[in-house]
């Protein structure tokens, strides 16, 4: 089957681009001397995960954002799984099931109350749970700042609890998505490194173990100058890349491995609009490039071979309609876009767009569909 | 099972509110003298559809936005189905399958090229396809303006084609979502009515049949003063309502029938933030209220009984994290929101939020889960 033959809209994954992206990040990890623990929240697919990190490798380690991901990837044979969202006692029984089935699940927390509650829940389940203390390196979300007055107390509660094992510290530099230059990303990477290493140092000076120091975001992983003192990083979106990453200078448009296949369903000649069936149900409502120097609307329009059609973006979207126009407002030669012409749209945010679909149509640079890889969702 | 017992995040549907919303719109249809052809793109669930319109009723008629919805609802016994997105020849074979299985599918188109292409495709399939000509009443998306020089030509091609049946005209006043007052919505409803009736009149004066005149959006259906000359309307989001509708004055917050159940997963005491597990993967990226006088962020926070907690909204969201703060920036009493406290979040946009979930946890005003209704997705 070929891209010409399938129902639209549909999600296309270019395996050649995926493999190149995976290789580049493996090389980054090797150059920086850290373990790559990829975040699988973007891919949510066993077939993609296997290319990113071989589950049969004893050192294989992954990151997930939901317990559904933890379950699915444990079923694929991954043993070392970091659940990277603040843990609550009510979710411990679900984690305990995975641990009893043989997985090593690490969880994160960032305060004494959580440490005590999760220690109690783990004790009640009779499991031993690895815990990383979450560090706030950029003020964007969760975590303790490295000089927090409760950092050592929190880690100490974990270390003392029979059901918990203090495995170290972790952070996520989500602030890197808002950087305006490669220089700013490089500085953010150093800020991310320094914050976690400072927290690790405080724990060790207090006599607590801190074997793992975990950082990661695709921008900082791409541009970090040094990761001295860090043991692993956890980028995720690098597998597919997207327009937000391209806007940050993290990748080129030609590195973006996923696109939404659609077709022309109409025109508004007076307005110079081409209407497509790539609405927000297929693209997502994510408008991440709206904050960047170049606003890409709901996506950049490519031809069927994945080549960018210069200047065309999806400027508007309703549930099942996309409106394509020139970025500069100039006229489109509508004759070049007859009813039924197929297009591929590069997304703002790979995580959000991929989540609108239940499978990847896999191509290798061309239009031939060489595989269909299922995706999962839910919690 | 109760809302206290389930994994989070999860989608909750209050059946009492749903039924009240359904009743109000049925009463509107009766008062206005039009048929209610509900749009099921919001609900995408057989159990909701059956409450909205009984498939065993000979006059039952529905609207869908995807062929997947058409297939699913045809399987539920609905016969009269309007596919409300511009048709392309490549999608005719899928529609033909449904017609051969006994459904009456109406499709829409808005130009001579589409009329010719779809006539040819319908002819090749040996089916007879009902066609509504799409009218542009507000300049927002697709359709021909009522005085378009190609309106009569387009309808004439449909009427003359062996495989097509000219069923009338339709429009969708998507512009009603951007109105700033009930008065503006009322004016938009009249604009919607007048545009379709004018188009219908032109067709009839040209000797063409125009049995159906179809309009519809939840705001215009709610506030239309008269629908003289209109035969049916097609609201969809009215079933659940949402914060965008509340911001327009279409409903009260206490009418919103869906919410996302989540729990507190952390705090940032220095910032006065409560962190929850209701990120954009559960809420969607939709920020529809950002354009309204009151920006509700990613949603309004309610307690477990669905009562609004005054002043609290989800101000930020990453994939699996929500950040809850007071709308006025004032301090939250964090002690009232301990780790694990469960909350329900009212969404900006019911269609987008519901689409992030595979089922509804159904309650009837309380916390007892009386049913789980599956949702479907895809195209």
pLDDT at B263 over 90: yes
- Kindly state whether residues B166 and B302 are assigned to the same domain: no
Inspect the interface and report whether the beta carbons of A275 and B141 lie closer than 8 Å: yes
Does ipTM top 0.90?
Answer: yes
- Kindly state whether residues A99 and A199 are assigned to the same domain: yes
Report pLDDT for A238. Answer: 98
d(CA A255, CA A260): 15
Residue that terminates a domain, selected from A188, A205, A240: A240
Query: Tokens 């009779």 correspond to what residue?
Result: A126
Q: Which residue of A has its CA nearest to B110?
A: A266
Q: What is the CATH number of the domain that holds A315?
A: 2.40.37.20
Residues of chain A with C-beta less than 8 angstroms from the C-beta of B280: 286, 352
CA B153 to chain centre: 31
Residues of chain A with C-beta less than 8 angstroms from the C-beta of B271: 139
For an interface test with B, the pick among A8, A218, A285, A375 (most B C-beta atoms closer than 10 Å) comes out as A285
Measured distance between the N- and C-terminal CA atoms of chain B, rounded to whole angstroms: 32
Residue spans of chain A under pLDDT 50: none
Report pLDDT for B5. Answer: 96
Query: Would B200 be classed as within a structural domain?
Result: yes
- Kindly state whether residues A290 and A363 are assigned to the same domain: yes
* 8-state DSSP, B116: H
Report pLDDT for A331. Answer: 86
- Kindly state whether residues B226 and B340 are assigned to the same domain: no
Whether A291 and A360 have beta carbons less than 8 Å apart is answered as no
Q: Which two tokens stand for residue A11?
A: 């999600």
pLDDT at B91 over 90: yes
Report pLDDT for A278. Answer: 98
- Kindly state whether residues A63 and A190 are assigned to the same domain: yes
- Kindly state whether residues B144 and B283 are assigned to the same domain: no
Report pLDDT for B73. Answer: 98
Q: Which two tokens stand for residue B170?
A: 């339709």
Give how many domains chain A has, as a whole number.
Answer: 2
pLDDT bracket for residue B40 (50, 70, 90): very high
- Kindly state whether residues A313 and A338 are assigned to the same domain: yes
d(CA B51, CA B61): 13
Query: Tokens 């509804």 correspond to what residue?
Result: B360
Structural domain range at position B179: 17-239
Q: What is the CATH number of the domain that holds B150?
A: 3.20.20.10
> Smallest CA–CA separation between A121 and chain B, in Å?
12
- Of residues A89, A94, A285, nearest to B286 (C-beta): A285
Query: Would B81 be classed as within a structural domain?
Result: yes
- Kindly state whether residues B73 and B126 are assigned to the same domain: yes
CA B342 to chain centre: 28
- Kindly state whether residues A133 and A271 are assigned to the same domain: no
Query: Would A246 be classed as within a structural domain?
Result: no
pLDDT at B9 over 90: yes
DSSP string, A126-190: T--EEEEEEB-SSSSSSSB-TT-TTHHHHHHHHHH-TTEEEEEEE---GGGGG--SHHHHHHHHH
Query: Strand A300-302 relative to strand A342-346: parallel, antiparallel, unpaired?
Result: antiparallel
pLDDT at B8 over 90: yes
Report pLDDT for B167. Answer: 98
Between chain A and chain B, the number of residue pairs with CB atoms below 8 A apart is 143
What percentage of chain B exceeds 90 in pLDDT? 99
Query: Would A4 be classed as within a structural domain?
Result: no
- Kindly state whether residues A213 and A285 are assigned to the same domain: no
- Give chain B's mean pLDDT: 97
For residue B336, give Cα distances in angstroms to A81, B309, B332: 33, 11, 8
A115 contact partners, CB below 8 Å, separation of at least 6 = A109, A131, A154, A157, A158, A161, A164
- Kindly state whether residues B77 and B207 are assigned to the same domain: yes
Whether A87 and A106 have beta carbons less than 8 Å apart is answered as no
Residues of chain B with C-beta less than 8 angstroms from the C-beta of A109: 266
pLDDT bracket for residue B330 (50, 70, 90): confident
- Does this model's pTM top 0.90? yes
Report pLDDT for A330. Answer: 86
For residue A213, give Cα distances in angstroms to A150, A208, B116: 18, 13, 64
Residues of chain B with C-beta less than 8 angstroms from the C-beta of A264: 88
- Kindly state whether residues A22 and A166 are assigned to the same domain: yes
Report pLDDT for B90. Answer: 96
DSSP string, B323-370: EEEETT-PPP-GGGS-TT-EEEEE-S-HHHHHTT-SEEEEESSSSB--
- Of residues A67, A110, A280, nearest to B266 (C-beta): A110
- The strands making up A232-233's β-sheet, listed across from edge to edge, are A35-36, A232-233, A212-215, A164-170, A129-134, A104-109, A80-83, A61-64
d(CA B171, CA B132): 9
Give the 3-state secondary structure of residue B297: coil
């Amino acid at each position: 089957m070929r891209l010409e033959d399938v129902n639209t809209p549909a999600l296309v994954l270019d395996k050649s681009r995926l493999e190149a992206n995976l290789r580049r990040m493996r090389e980054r990890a090797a150059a920086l001397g850290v373990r790559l623990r990829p975040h699988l929240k973007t891919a949510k697919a066993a077939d993609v995960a296997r290319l990113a990190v071989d589950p049969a490798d004893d050192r294989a380690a992954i990151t997930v954002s939901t317990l559904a991901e933890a379950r699915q990837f444990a079923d694929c044979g991954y043993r070392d799984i970091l659940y990277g969202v603040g843990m609550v006692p009510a979710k411990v029984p679900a984690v305990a099931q995975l641990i009893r089935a043989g997985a090593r699940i690490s969880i994160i927390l960032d305060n004494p109350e959580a440490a005590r509650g999760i220690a109690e829940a783990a004790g009640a389940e009779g499991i031993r749970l690895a815990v990383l203390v979450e560090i706030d390196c950029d003020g964007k979300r969760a975590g303790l700042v490295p000089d927090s007055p409760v950092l050592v107390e929190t880690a100490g509660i974990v270390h003392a609890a029979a059901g918990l094992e203090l495995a170290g510290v972790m952070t996520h530099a989500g602030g890197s998505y808002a950087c305006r230059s490669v220089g700013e990303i490089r500085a953010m990477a150093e800020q991310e490194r320094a914050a976690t290493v400072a927290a690790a140092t405080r724990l060790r000076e207090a006599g607590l173990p801190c074997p793992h120091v975990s950082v990661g975001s695709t921008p900082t992983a791409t541009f970090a100058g040094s990761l001295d003192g860090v043991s692993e990083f956890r980028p995720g979106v690098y597998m597919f890349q997207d327009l937000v990453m391209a806007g940050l200078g993290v990748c080129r448009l030609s590195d973006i491995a996923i696109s939404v296949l659609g077709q022309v369903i109409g025109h508004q000649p007076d307005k110079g609009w081409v209407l497509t069936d790539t609405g927000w149900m297929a693209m997502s409502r994510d408008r991440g490039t709206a904050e960047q120097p170049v606003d890409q609307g709901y996506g950049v329009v490519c031809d069927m071979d994945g080549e960018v059609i210069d200047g065309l973006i999806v400027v508007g979207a309703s549930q099942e309609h996309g409106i394509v126009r020139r970025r500069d407002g100039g006229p489109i030669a509508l004759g070049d876009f007859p009813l039924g012409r197929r297009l591929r749209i590069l997304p703002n945010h790979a995580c959000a767009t991929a989540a609108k679909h239940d499978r990847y149509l896999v191509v290798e640079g061309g239009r031939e569909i060489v595989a269909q890889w299922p995706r999962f969702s839910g919690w």
